[in-house]
């Protein structure tokens, strides 16, 4: 049963690189949190009456509690983000649905996405919508309702709608992948704003092109802009609607080679985001429509149009191959961009707290040395006084002795005279 398969954790998936790294770094930050809290308790114990740590020392260390907390919050929400671009009706929504194994986003004639849709996992078993900047949750039960809700809310082209879908229903969502669908690059002049608002943190970009035509200037322009703002963006090109090639098998290889060469040229020579060899691994010829159909069938969902064109299996394998390469790329890239920075900060925090403790320790040692020194001086002073006393007493004794002697002498003299 397909549904069951989707629910099972896929330990072989390259996405696990990110999942495991995220777990590890979260665990490390739990330890850092404990360490900082221990340090604060210790600081309190040696401040106040004890007078070893000053209130400033305590406050310095205490400030790290909220810093660590803030990082832990960000870490919990960290995800892998993929953004899909292309001209209207090239099949972006269909690609996303096929990757999610379900018809989640509305697609097809009559519906064009005129805003950004961000599909992400929801921890509850409900699906709902939320527009950016609002806390209101709109429940959605079905795709048609989702489409209706999107039209009804009269969204602007540049707005973002979050679509929360139960994690347990899709492997990608469960492993923290967030998928962003965009309005067609042909419908807007606001490419710059889009990139700044929704793309700067994307780990992977997927250009959904139409295999029935060639790469368009508008599509190319968009990625030219992306590559000026992001250094070395990871770009995949899906030549979608490749099922159309089945009707002209005699040209299939020729057309494929032509498309592939142009795409390699675009990535490697025009954008210079990878080598020609790497570019070959970023270009795929697929049919999102067939892939979605195959998966809907696997999950025993009711689907129409059961007949698929010649070669659909090969196209499906290529789709699966794309997913694997995409998963590998996105998880590695996200680990690098998201976690490298956090682990550096974690290291700095641990170092800073240690330095603060060392400072207090050094102060305490200095205080102790000072006390010992004071005692030593006191002791020396006492010895001197003692010595003086001894001398004085000895002198007095002598004097008294001499006085007694002289008195005795005088008395004996007087007595003898009488």
Residues that bind ligand GDP (CB under 6 A): 86, 88-94, 107-109, 112-113, 240-241, 243, 287-289
Q: Taking a C-beta distance cutoff of 8 angstroms, is the pair 353, 64 a contact?
A: yes
Q: What does the DSSP 8-state code read for residue 197?
A: I
Is the Cβ of residue 93 or residue 333 nearer to ligand GDP in the bound state? Answer: 93
State how far the Cα of 352 lies from the Cα of 413, in Å rounded to an integer: 91
Is the Cβ of residue 85 or residue 266 nearer to ligand GDP in the bound state? Answer: 85
Is the Cβ of residue 53 or residue 235 nearer to ligand GDP in the bound state? Answer: 235
Is the Cβ of residue 75 or residue 255 nearer to ligand GDP in the bound state? Answer: 255
Which residues does 199 contact at the CB level (< 8 Å), separation at least 6?
A: 83, 205, 226, 229, 230
Tell me the C-alpha to C-alpha distance, in Å, between residue 9 and each of 6, 156, 169, 174.
8, 37, 11, 9
Is the Cβ of residue 140 or residue 286 nearer to ligand GDP in the bound state? Answer: 286
CB atoms within 10 A of CB 332: 17
Burial 178-189 (b: 16+ CB within 10 A, else e): bbbbbbbbeebe
Q: Taking a C-beta distance cutoff of 8 angstroms, is the pair 22, 176 a contact?
A: yes
Smallest distance, ligand GDP to C-beta of residue 76, A: 31
DSSP assignment string, 212-279: TSPPPHHHHHHHHHHHHHSSS--EEEEEE-GGGGGG-GGGHHHHHHHHHHHHHIIIIIIS-SS-HHHH
Is the Cβ of residue 174 or residue 312 nearer to ligand GDP in the bound state? Answer: 312
State how far the Cα of 40 lies from the Cα of 34, in Å rounded to an integer: 10
State how far the Cα of 104 lies from the Cα of 96, in Å rounded to an integer: 8
State how far the Cα of 221 lies from the Cα of 340, in Å rounded to an integer: 31
Task: Return the closest-CA partner of residue 240 out of 117, 115, 93, 101.
Answer: 93
Task: Return the closest-CA partner of residue 263 out of 291, 303, 289, 235.
Answer: 235
Smallest distance, ligand GDP to C-beta of residue 95, A: 7
Is the Cβ of residue 227 or residue 240 nearer to ligand GDP in the bound state? Answer: 240
Smallest distance, ligand GDP to C-beta of residue 88, A: 5
Smallest distance, ligand GDP to C-beta of residue 143, A: 11
- Of the chain, the end-to-end C-alpha distance in Å amounts to 145
State how far the Cα of 120 lies from the Cα of 165, in Å rounded to an integer: 6
Smallest distance, ligand GDP to C-beta of residue 257, A: 20
The angle subtended at Cα 400 by Cα 399 and Cα 402, nearest 5°, is 65
Smallest distance, ligand GDP to C-beta of residue 109, A: 6
Smallest distance, ligand GDP to C-beta of residue 84, A: 8
Is the Cβ of residue 22 or residue 87 nearer to ligand GDP in the bound state? Answer: 87
Smallest distance, ligand GDP to C-beta of residue 147, A: 10
Is the Cβ of residue 13 or residue 97 nearer to ligand GDP in the bound state? Answer: 97
Smallest distance, ligand GDP to C-beta of residue 12, A: 27
């Amino acid at each position: 049963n397909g549904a069951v398969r989707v629910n099972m954790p896929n330990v072989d998936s390259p996405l696990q690189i990110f999942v495991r790294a995220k777990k590890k770094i979260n665990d490390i930050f739990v330890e850092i949190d404990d360490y900082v809290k221990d340090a604060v308790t210790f600081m309190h114990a040696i401040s106040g009456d004890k007078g070893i740590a000053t209130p400033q020392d305590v406050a310095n260390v205490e400030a790290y509690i909220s810093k660590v907390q803030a990082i832990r919050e960000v870490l919990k929400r960290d995800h892998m983000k993929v953004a899909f671009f292309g001209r209207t009706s090239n099949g972006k929504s269909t690609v996303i649905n096929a990757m999610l194994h379900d018809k989640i986003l509305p697609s097809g004639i009559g519906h064009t996405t005129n805003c950004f849709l961000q599909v992400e996992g929801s921890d509850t078993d409900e699906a709902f919508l939320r527009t950016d900047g609002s806390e209101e949750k709109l429940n959605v039960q079905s795709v048609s309702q989702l489409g209706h809700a999107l039209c009804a809310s009269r969204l602007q082209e540049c707005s973002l709608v979050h679509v929360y879908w139960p994690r347990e229903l899709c492997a990608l969502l469960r492993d923290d992948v967030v998928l962003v669908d965009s309005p067609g690059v042909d419908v807007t002049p606001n490419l710059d704003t889009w990139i700044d608002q929704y793309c700067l943190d994307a780990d992977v970009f997927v250009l959904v092109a139409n295999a029935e035509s060639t790469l368009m200037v508008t599509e190319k322009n968009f990625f030219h802009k992306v590559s000026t703002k992001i250094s070395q963006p990871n770009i995949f090109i899906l030549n979608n609607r490749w099922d159309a090639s089945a009707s002209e098998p005699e040209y299939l290889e020729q057309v494929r080679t032509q498309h592939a060469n142009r795409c390699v040229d675009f990535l490697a020579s025009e954008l210079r985001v990878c080598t020609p060899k790497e570019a070959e691994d970023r270009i795929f010829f697929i049919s999102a429509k067939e892939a979605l159909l195959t998966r809907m069938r696997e999950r025993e969902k009711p689907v129409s149009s059961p007949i698929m064109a010649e070669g659909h299996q090969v196209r499906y394998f290529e789709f699966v191959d794309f997913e694997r390469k995409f998963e590998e790329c996105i998880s590695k890239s996200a680990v690098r961009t998201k976690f490298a920075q956090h682990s550096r900060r974690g290291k700095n925090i641990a170092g800073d707290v240690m330095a603060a403790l060392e400072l207090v320790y050094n102060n305490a040692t200095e205080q102790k040395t000072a006390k010992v020194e004071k005692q030593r001086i006191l002791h020396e002073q006492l010895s001197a006084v003692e010595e003086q006393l001894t001398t004085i007493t000895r002198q007095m004794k002598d004097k008294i002795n001499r006085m007694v002697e002289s008195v005795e002498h005088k008395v004996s003299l007087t007595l003898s005279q009488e």
